[in-house]
Structures are given as C-alpha cells and as structure tokens.
Amino acid sequence: MAKRKRKISRRGFLKGSVAAAAAFTIVPRHVLGGPGHTPPSDKFGGALIGCGGQGGGTFRGLGPNVEQLALCDVKWLGRADNKKRYTDFRRVLERKDIDVVAIATPPHWHALITIAAMEAGKDVLCEKPMTRFVAEGRAVVNAERRYGRIFQVGTYGRFGRSRDKGAILTRKIMLSGLLKQTDGVYVRRGGFKVKEWSGRVDLPPRPVPPNLDWDMYCGPSPLKPYVPTRTGGTHRWYWDYEGGGLADMGQHHLDAYTWQFGKDGTSPVEVEVSAPPAHPEVSGMWAWSKLKYADGFTLVLESGEWGEASGMRSKRPALGDLSEADQEKIEAMPDPEPLVSFPDAIRTRKKAGGHAEAAHRTACLLHLTNVAIRVGRKIQFDPVKEEVIGDEEANRLVNQPMRAPWHL
C-alpha cells in the first residue's frame, strides 16, 4: 500500500524554515547580552536637563546603560563636545532617541519638566525636592499614572532603610492596619542646613549675564530683577525657587521614614512649628516642626540651629502594642511593595522605589512645614483633598499661581 503524502501547510512550512534558519544562524553576543555585553533592548538614550553642580551625579543615577545624548541648561553651555546642547527643555523632549531624562534644575521647574517629559514618553529621574509646592506633586502623580512612565526622586534613602530589620518590622506594623491608634513618635534632629540657606534681601540687582536666559530661568515663578544669588546654590534662599535648607535636605532624610512608618500614601493632618515671623521673599530660621498623622503617629523635625528643642522623644511602634495573634500575622507579612531601583525599573517596567506618590508624600512634609512657618500658625490639613482646612492664606501656598504661559 502506497504511503499517503503528508500535506504541509504554509504556516507549517514557514515555521520549519524559521527554525532551520535559527539553527544555522550565529547571533552575535552583543545582541544576546550576557557578561560584559548589554543587548540593544537594554540600552537607552538619555538627556540631562539642568547642568549645574549636581547634574552629573543625577544623570549617573539613570544607570550604566544610559548614553548621554543631550544636555540642556538656561545658561548657554557652548559646544565643547559632540553632545547636542539646548537652552529650552522642550526641544530635548521632541527627540525620539531620548528615552530617559534626568532633571537637576532648581525645584520650581521640577514639576513642569517632569510632566512634559512623561507626556512625551520619557521616564524621569528627578532631583530632590520633588516639587516647590503641594499641588505640583499631585499633578506629577497624576501624570505618572496617565502616561504609564517610570518616575523616581533621586534620594535613595529608603533603599538603605530597607536592609534594617528594625525598620522593616516597624513598616510591617504600620502597614498591617492592626494598630488603629499609636502614640508613636520619631524625632529627626539636625541635618537641614537651616542657617546656611537662610536668605539675604539686601543685595542689589545686577545686569543679566549675556549667556543666561533669565526669563526661562524664572519660568513659572515671578519674573524678578536679576540678583546673582537667585541662581547657583543660593537659589535655595528664595521662596520663588525652593524653600530653604529644609527643602534642600529634607527629602534626603525623610524619604526613608515615610517608607519605614508606612506613610507613602498619606500626609499629616496637623502641622505645628516654632519659628520667628517669616520674610515674604526668603527663607529663615526655625526651631522645630511637629507633623501629626490621623493615626496619632507624629514626626518631629528639629533644626538644632535656632531656638528651643521640641522636648519630644522618639517612641517607635512595637509588636508589644499588639496581641500575640496579631504579632504572628505581622511577622509573616511580605512587603506589599518591594523596592525597585530606577535602572531596573526602566528595564522591567516595574514601578520604581520612591515613585511619584511616595515622593510626593515625603515632599509634603517639607511644604507643609514651610506653609506653617510662612503663615505663622498651626495648620490642619486634609490629606485626601490636599488642602488646608479653613485657611485661605495657607491654601494659596499649597496651590500657588504660575507665571503665564506656564501652568499645571
């Protein structure tokens, strides 16, 4: 009996042909990846926006697989190398070969550039503090969700805390929901550079340097006469651009504690400060800030550079505050949000540790303290609506106007 011929479909023929070709094709190692080789799919084009003293360090935070293709700064940088240089960040974001952006401008530009970058399909690593005022932070969070991009503020403090067993246990306790009310307190003493970044108002205006686009530097902030200290590190003196030493250093220190105490998704409901009357233009001295959350937990910041200490001592939530059954549940809890570094996040598309919501909630600690300092009284804050309750003067600092044509 003759054998029946086997009919081969077109799909089967193509499948077999591809398999045969693959068997005899040598794929270069640089395409496959492996030790000493990064596959093209894991390489990214990057840009640095804001090229001052911190810019290089911020760009390195993007990871080793990011090639710097563009630089942007409102101060003209010249053409010293083959990288394309810009003074307007919008021209950078138009480039299709830019995948990730490092932002190291003064904070009054952080939110607008971040939102524009994510809208343009870029991932963003942003310098601290995340924003200049509260409403900007919520706008960044919304943009991260809307455009599905990776975002992180470059403090990395929570990554160190995540290796501390005591911090991990405290985090589990706070996230468990089993501790309904706590008298827990954490006091952070010093490290805020309060005196160093207390501003001066007796400096005369000067001519704008010919290589500086002063209008673009001011951007969404008021266009004021040029004074050299409004640029460089001393920009931190001015409410127009940042918020003193607390805004400069606070996110570095406090990012670890919003993670440890499970506060990445909420903000304090009450803020009380000890400080002299604030100047309307520049930051000044302060003694302490008490930031109380709805569950009773209180975070205390002490400058150690002016006035009396708060008189409070740290008292961390402990397993002993719970029943034995609850203790067993907590000890068995996995972390609901394992930390992912920025380089790993842009490669795997997993949410980065210190993502927009977490970074925003940490930045709120700085902004709300400065709001209370500037209005000179205790404030009550709604962490859901993100507004100060019954205080219009304070709310004008929570959601500040921007100079046209810039807007959130």
Q: What is the pLDDT of residues 92-136, one digit of tens each?
A: 999 999 999 999 999 999 999 999 999 999 999 999 999 999 999
Q: Residue 300 maps to which CATH number?
A: 3.30.360
Q: Among 120, 137, 155, give the residue marking a domain's end.
A: 155
The reply to whether 66 falls in a domain is: yes
Q: Choose the final residue of a domain: 133, 155, 177.
A: 155
> Could you tell me if 319 and 387 lie in one domain?
yes
pLDDT digits (tens, 9 = 90+) for 166-184: 999 999 999 999 998 999 9
Whether residue 205 is predicted with pLDDT greater than 50 in this model: the reply is yes
Residue 150 sits in the same domain as residue 247: no
Of 155, 173, 194, the residue at which a domain comes to its end is 155
Residue 14 resides in a domain: no
DSSP string of 33-52, one letter each residue: -BTTB--GGG-EEEEEE--S
- The reported pLDDT for the residue numbered 3 is 43
Question: Domain range spanning residue 80?
Answer: 40-155
Q: Which tokens hold the place of 220?
A: 């969404």
Amino acid at 183: D
Tell me, yes or no, whether 103 and 181 share the same domain: no
Give the lowest-confidence range in 154-163, 210-219, 310-319: 154-163
In this structure, the dihedral spanned by the alpha carbons of residues 150, 101, 51 and 57, taken in order and rounded to 10 degrees, is: 50
Q: What is the pLDDT averaged over residues 245-260?
A: 96
How many independent structural domains does the chain possess?
2
358 is a domain residue: yes
Question: Residue 367: its pLDDT value, please?
Answer: 98
**Range from 35-44, 106-115, 202-211 carrying the lowest mean pLDDT:** 35-44
Both 116 and 176 in one domain: the answer is no
Q: Residue 1 above 90 pLDDT?
A: no
Tell whether 1 is covered by a domain. no
What's 128's domain CATH number? 3.40.50.720
Q: Do 271 and 373 belong together in one domain?
A: yes
- Is 193 in the same domain as 146? no
**255 and 364 both lie in a single domain:** yes
Which one, of 370, 130, 125, 362, lies nearest residue 238 by Cα? 370
For residue 163, give Cα distances in angstroms to 256, 259, 263, 339, 351.
11, 12, 18, 11, 19
One domain for residues 72 and 144: yes
Residues 144 and 185 in one domain: no
Residue type, 212: L
The answer to whether the beta carbons of residues 263 and 380 sit under 8 Å apart is no
Does 31 reside within a domain? no
Same domain? For 145 and 230 the reply is: no
* Class of residue 285 by CB neighbours under 10 A (exposed 0-12, middle 13-18, buried 19+): middle
Whole-prediction pTM: 0.89
Same domain (yes/no): 306, 190: yes
pLDDT > 60? residue 156? yes
Q: How far is CA 259 from CA 102, 157, 172, 279, 339, in A?
A: 23, 9, 10, 33, 10
Other Cβ atoms closer than 10 A to 24: 6
The Cα 250–Cα 373 span in angstroms is 15
